[in-house]
Amino acid sequence: MMINPMISFDIASWPPGLMMILAAFAVPWIPHVARQIWMLAAIALSAWGLSSGAGVHAVWQVMGLELVLYRADNLTFPFALIFHIAAALNVIYSWHDRKWSEHMASLSYAGAAIAAVHAGDLITLFIWWEATAITSVFLILAAGTDRAQRAAMRYLLFQVLSGVLLLAGAAVIASHSGEIGFGKMAFDGPDALGVWLVFIAFGIKAAFPFLNGWLQDAYPEATATGTVALSAFTTKLAIYALARGFAGTDMLIWIGAAMTALPVFFAVIENDLRRVLAFSLNNQLGFMVVAVGIGSELALNGAVAHAFVHILYKALLFMSMGAVLHQVGTIKASALGGLYRQMPFTMVCCIIGAMSISAFPLFSGFVAKSLTMSALGDTGIVWAYLVLLFASAGVLEHSGIKIPYFAFFAHPSGHQTGEAPIGMRVAMGIAALLCVGIGVFPAPLYAILPYAVDYHPYDVSHVTGQLQLLIFAMLAFIFLIRMKWYPPEIPSVVLNSDWFYRWLAPRVGRPLLGAVMGVWAVFLRMLVWYRDMGWAVLDRVMHAPISGPTVPGRAVMVQALLLSLLLVLGYLLLG
Amino acid sequence: MDEQKTALQRLGSRFTAILLAIAAVLVVLEFIFHRHGEVAAEDFPLFPALFGFLAFLFIVQVGKWLRVMIMRDEDYYDD
């Protein structure tokens, strides 16, 4: 049924997320605690809109375009559900924060991401795609430091670039077929250019290799609460978009495999623990991208399940590190350690997140990642399987061991502190319960995946195989620590693909720009010189004519010239 | 500080002992049950254990090399 949303007051047919964006405008005027309840209510109301079920629920005819504002199906629902849960967790986690600005940004950002998931056409997708960029940048700016401000601008540049490419791609596609519907796309066809543009737009937000600099650059600069919100939406929206448009694209297996493996090495040596998590986020996206690239029903289930549980455990890890940052004031591994006595609850939650992301049996990562690994095994692409297995050991290294070890154990750092505010602890507790709950009872998660599932992660082969991998990798860690071969934490910065535009571009670009501007200035000076010459000649002619009277002004002279020219042209054309 | 340090060391030793025990159980189980992997290579006895152990060492070693190449002072970007 098609309903014009402009006249409809039935909230269930509103695009989910829109309610949250509207509610965000009231956030500045609502006093502190009431504001949190208001936001939770808005999220609940938006989630209620999901009850409309599958189908197209809102279409807007505008300027000859048919904008599908609300399309729901098996693929949108799991993303919509987890986005609502993540939004609610953010509200609880930031309960202590009395300033309205971040709450407003966070609520509208989540709303925009949810609305984007329900966009049925490329133009609507573009609008919400950009909205996530513009709202989320305030979460980075809210940190209030010069560093954060510069990172925020670099972040915005990339996010907007992604949006512009999406719009350009949509325009190319629309100009060929007149169709702007967002569905499966093919690289071979008259729209190839448009499809490539859309693919790169998605690739920026999904943090493909070399397009990923913004992620590790900007996310760790946001506030303790802001990074948690950032970690959930933008990149998983990109995974949704890839699953919708590019399922079964072989190239994605290569790209995804590179994404799983490369960040692993960077994460080992990174000192900022939230940046370690950003590298880890990139690695996790790789698993999902590989799954989308395989494109089988099992693989797509794997991609969606992975995105679902990933949002929870990644948020949990960022929340625990945010709690440490909030309490201690730093998140540098070199300045932390020994906090397990002062923040035991945070430590337990962090370890649950760490075990979930490392895919220990009985934790959420295991039941999701097994789907992807089985699907990859079915394809027979052994190299990719081994790369992902290798990356699994990498996940254990940086997220499973490094994060909890350097924050809570390692060596005493001498910080005197206590547990985080109650809101932070409640949010971490809920996320931790969900991580374990999904790991122990995967059936409800499997029930909402895009395709019917007949999959049993808990068989002897899976469990013992995975445990062998994890336990022996942990023994390798202990071996390295005992032998004192594990690289020490050093205050430092690790170069990543943002180096090209943060270091190289200014150093090469500025001289280049200077040279171009120099040539331009010379050109302008020449133009001025020719102009002055022209007038000088004109003045000579006026004041010393070869014959006839002198002309009183330049304007008259120019008019006379133009009229003569017209006369000559007239003769030429008529004759 | 010193007292904290010994407490951490004790925690570490206990943790190591537990891990070694689990590892021993896993090795025993490997020869009791028939475990088969997603790809043929995985069927090799103790393949995941060896793969995990070596992958971990490899990752850390490459990380150490990478430090020489891509690690800079904190104020490298000057911002």
DSSP calls for A500-527: IIIIIHHHHHHHHHHHHHHHHHHHHHHH
Write the residue in A265, A396, A491 that is nearest to B63 by C-beta. A265
Q: How far apart are alpha carbons A408 and B8 in whole angstroms?
A: 10
What pLDDT sits at residue A89? 97
What's residue A2's pLDDT?
Answer: 46
Token digits for A44? 């609940």
How far is A484 from chain B, CA to nearest CA, in Å? 12
Residue that has been written with the tokens 């890839």 in this structure = A242
**Interchain contact, A472 vs B22, CB within 8 Å:** no
Phi, psi of A54 (to 5 degrees): -70, 150
* Nearest neighbour of A265 by CB, restricted to B35, B59, B79: B59
Instruction: Indicate the pLDDT class of residue A8, thresholds 50, 70 and 90.
Output: low
Chain B's closest residue to A462, CA to CA, is: B37
Gap between the Cα atoms of A244 and A230, Å rounded: 22
Lowest mean pLDDT segment, chosen from A250-254, A338-342, A405-409, A543-547? A543-547
Distance CA A226, CA A222 (A): 5
Residue reference for tokens 């009985």: A362
User: Token pair of A395, please?
Assistant: 């996940």
pLDDT surpassing 70 at residue A344 = yes
Q: Could you give the CA distance from residue A212 to residue A349 in angstroms, rounded to a whole number?
A: 28
B78 pLDDT higher than 80: no
Mean pLDDT of chain A, nearest integer: 92
Task: Flag if A465 and B76 touch (Cβ within 8 Å).
Answer: no
The larger pLDDT score, comparing residue A509 to residue B61, is at B61
Q: What is the pLDDT of residue A7?
A: 44
Among A98-107, A322-331, A448-457, A555-564, where is mean pLDDT lowest? A555-564
Q: Which residue of A has its CA nearest to B71?
A: A494
8-state DSSP, A487:
P
Q: Give the three-class secondary structure for A106.
A: helix
pLDDT at A553 over 70: yes
Distance CA A278, CA A234 (A): 13
Would you say residue A548 has pLDDT above 50? yes
User: Cβ neighbours of residue A319 under 8 Å, at least 6 residues apart?
Assistant: A89, A93, A228, A349, A424, A427, A428, A431
pLDDT of residue A11: 67
The residue ranking higher by pLDDT, A198 or A62, is A198
* Interface TM-score (ipTM) > 0.95: no
Nearest to A468 among B8, B46, B77 (CB): B46
pLDDT at residue B79 in the model = 56
Between chains, do B74 and A460 touch, taking CB under 8 Å as contact?
no
d(CA B61, CA A102): 41
Report which secondary-structure segment, H or E, holds A68: strand A65-72
Q: Which of A411, A472, A492 sits opposite B52 (nearest CB)?
A: A472
Sign of torsion over alpha carbons A120, A121, A127, A130? positive
What's the 3-state SS for B57-79? HHHHHHHHHHHHHHEECCCCCCC
Q: In this predicted structure, what is the pLDDT of residue A3? A: 46
What is the residue type of A142?
A
Nearest-5° Cα angle at A219, A213 to A223: 155
**pLDDT average, residue stretch A313-332:** 95
DSSP A57: E
Using CB atoms, which residue from B15, B52, B60 is nearest to A487? B60
Verify whether the Cβ–Cβ distance A338 to B8 is below 8 Å.
Answer: yes
Q: Report which listed range, A249-258, A408-417, A450-459, is most confident.
A: A249-258
Give the best residue of A332, A370, A464, A470 to mutate against chain B (max B CB count within 10 A).
A464
A53-86 confidence digits (pLDDT tens)? 888 888 888 877 889 999 999 999 999 999 999 9
Residue pairs between chains A and B whose CB atoms are closer than 8 Å: 163
Give the mean pLDDT of A82-110: 96
CB atoms under 10 Å from CB of A108, counted, come to 24
Taking CA–CA distances from A378, the nearest residue in chain B reads B38
In this predicted model, what pLDDT tens digit does every residue of A146-185 receive, in sequence order? 999 999 999 999 999 999 999 999 999 998 887 889 999 9
Contact B59 A394 (CB under 8 A): yes
CA A477, A483, A488, A494 torsion: positive or negative? negative
Say which residue the tokens 């573009």 belong to. Answer: A126
Q: Note the pLDDT tens digit of each residue in A431-477.
A: 999 999 999 999 999 999 999 988 999 988 899 999 999 999 999 99
Lowest mean pLDDT among A3-7, A337-341, A405-409: A3-7
**Whether residue A16 has pLDDT greater than 60:** yes
Q: What is the mean pLDDT of residues A10-17?
A: 80
**Is the pLDDT score of B40 beyond 60?**
yes
pLDDT score at A388: 95
DSSP summary character for residue A248? T
Tokens of A145: 């430091």
Across the interface, do A461 and B37 touch by the CB < 8 Å criterion?
yes
Q: Which residue of A376, A466, A469, A496 to mutate against B (max B Cβ within 10 Å)? A: A469
Is the pLDDT reported for residue A125 higher than 60?
yes
Output the pLDDT for position A5. Answer: 47
Q: What is the pTM of this model?
A: 0.89
A chain contacts of residue B71, beta-carbon cutoff 8 Å: 269, 490, 492-495
Nearest-CA distance from B18 to chain A in Å?
10
3-state helix, strand, coil in chain A (%, to 5): 70, 5, 25
pLDDT tens per residue, range A519-536: 999 999 999 999 999 888
Comparing CB atoms, the residue among A147, A269, A389 nearest residue B79 is: A147
Element holding A494 (H helix, E strand): strand A493-494
- Give pLDDT, residue B1: 65
